């Protein structure tokens, strides 16, 4: 019965990833580096080139991308206007360039973590804020629905939990390139992270439910979604729309929703975990507000790690 409830909720809410323009989130930032050859080159270089040199190369490529991708740069500055309306245009432009640099360094880290042994991650994520929230969520023994956004290093979070013995399932939309999808799935699989692709299959929500019943973690990005079938929430003085899927999944399974983020902290990373959210009614607006508040707090804390290159 719960499977039918979840499947119906998924069809209404986008948890199944129905491929209509109105119901699916906008595609992410695309540029000349978002290509399979660059991913492969990055993985190879990360194994052989010193980190300082990799960061230097990334900084140059980031500046070139910022200057050449003018439409995306304008969008980025527009998002920063909502975040920092009191800042000058020059200050927002400097921050936008820093975001591009940090994003390029994020890609460097993505490559070098490909080859890192499991024990090495203890030296990468050196701090954890809100660890008690994580323990409380797992103590409920219903699995955990982890929600996050395009801030910090979201891929590292799943890898970190995977190396700590938590079975993680990352829910994702197709990238648009089958080769990049395959590369990302290979990368996650190497670190004990399973990928659930929302390609319209009716089995995706059932796979998520089965994982939660096994008391595992289902993780997803929730900060890019269309207005149709989205849940409205206040965000940066305006409104954003979150997918209904995580809330429908929480209502159907009883699993807590856990907003969590991994942010760069100097030369290492720090985890931030917010209090768990239990969905107890089919009006999802109050729960979406809590998730949106958590996302806004971490963005204001780390504005130069907000890698959202589409308009909010």
Q: What is the pLDDT of residue 307?
A: 93
pLDDT in tens, 94-103: 999 999 999 9
- DSSP β-bridge partners for residue 272: 129, 261
Query: Where are the domains positioned within the chain?
Result: 2-305
Whether the pLDDT of residue 6 is over 50: the answer is: no
Q: How far apart (Å, rounded) are the C-alpha atoms in residues 283 and 127?
A: 35
pLDDT in tens, 196-237: 888 777 888 899 999 999 999 999 999 988 888 899 999 999
Neighbour order of strands in the sheet with 125-129: 125-129, 268-273, 257-265, 144-148, 217-221, 168-172, 193-197
- Is residue 48 within 8 Å of 192, Cβ to Cβ? no
Give the global pTM.
0.85
pLDDT computed for residue 186 by the predictor: 66
pLDDT for 112: 81
Low-confidence winner among 18-22, 101-105, 186-190 (lowest mean pLDDT) = 18-22
Is 303 a residue whose pLDDT tops 90?
A: yes
Whether the pLDDT of residue 131 is over 80: the answer is: yes
What pLDDT, on a 0 to 100 scale, did the predictor assign at position 1? Answer: 41
Is residue 192 predicted with pLDDT exceeding 80? no
Whole-angstrom distance, CA of residue 243 vs CA of residue 255: 17
Both tokens of 26, joined, read 């906008």
Residues 6+ apart with CB under 8 A from 42: 107, 108, 110, 111
User: Binning pLDDT at 50, 70 and 90, where does residue 45 land?
Assistant: confident
- Out of 37-41, 133-137, 140-144, 269-273, least confident range: 37-41
- Cα–Cα distance for residue pair 173/182, rounded to 1 Å: 13
- Cα(194)–Cα(158) distance, integer angstroms: 9
Residue 144, strand partner residues: 217
What integer pLDDT is reported at residue 12 of this predicted model? 41
User: What pLDDT is attached to residue 127?
Assistant: 87
Structural tokens at position 143: 């699995």
């Amino acid at each position: 019965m719960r499977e039918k409830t979840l499947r119906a909720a998924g069809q209404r809410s986008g948890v199944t990833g129905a491929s209509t323009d109105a119901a699916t989130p906008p595609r992410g930032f695309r540029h000349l580096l978002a290509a399979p050859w660059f991913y492969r080159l990055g993985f190879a270089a990360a194994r052989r080139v010193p980190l300082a040199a990799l960061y230097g190369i990334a900084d140059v490529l980031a500046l070139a991308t910022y200057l050449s991708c003018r439409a995306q740069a304008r969008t980025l500055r527009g998002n920063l206007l909502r975040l920092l309306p009191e800042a000058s245009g020059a200050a927002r432009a400097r921050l936008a360039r820093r975001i591009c640099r940090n994003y390029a360094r994020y890609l460097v880290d993505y490559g070098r973590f490909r080859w890192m042994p499991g024990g090495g991650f203890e030296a990468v994520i050196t701090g954890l804020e809100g660890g008690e929230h994580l323990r409380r969520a797992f103590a409920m023994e219903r699995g955990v629905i982890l929600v996050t956004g395009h801030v910090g290093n979201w891929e590292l979070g799943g890898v970190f939990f995977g190396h700590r013995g938590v079975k993680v399932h990352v829910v994702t939309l197709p990238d648009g390139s089958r080769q990049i999808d395959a590369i990302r799935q290979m990368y996650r699989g190497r670190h004990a992270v399973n990928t659930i692709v929302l390609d319209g299959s009716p089995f995706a929500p059932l796979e998520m439910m089965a994982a939660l019943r096994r008391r595992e973690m289902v993780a997803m990005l929730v900060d890019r979604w269309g207005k149709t079938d989205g849940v409205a929430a206040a965000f940066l003085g305006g409104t954003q729309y979150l997918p209904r899927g995580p809330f429908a999944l929480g209502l159907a399974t009883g699993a807590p929703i856990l907003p969590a983020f991994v942010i760069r902290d100097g030369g290492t990373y720090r985890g931030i975990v917010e209090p768990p959210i239990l969905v107890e009614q089919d009006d999802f607006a109050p729960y979406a507000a809590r998730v949106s508040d958590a996302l806004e707090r971490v963005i204001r804390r780390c504005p130069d790690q907000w890698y959202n290159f589409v308009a909010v």
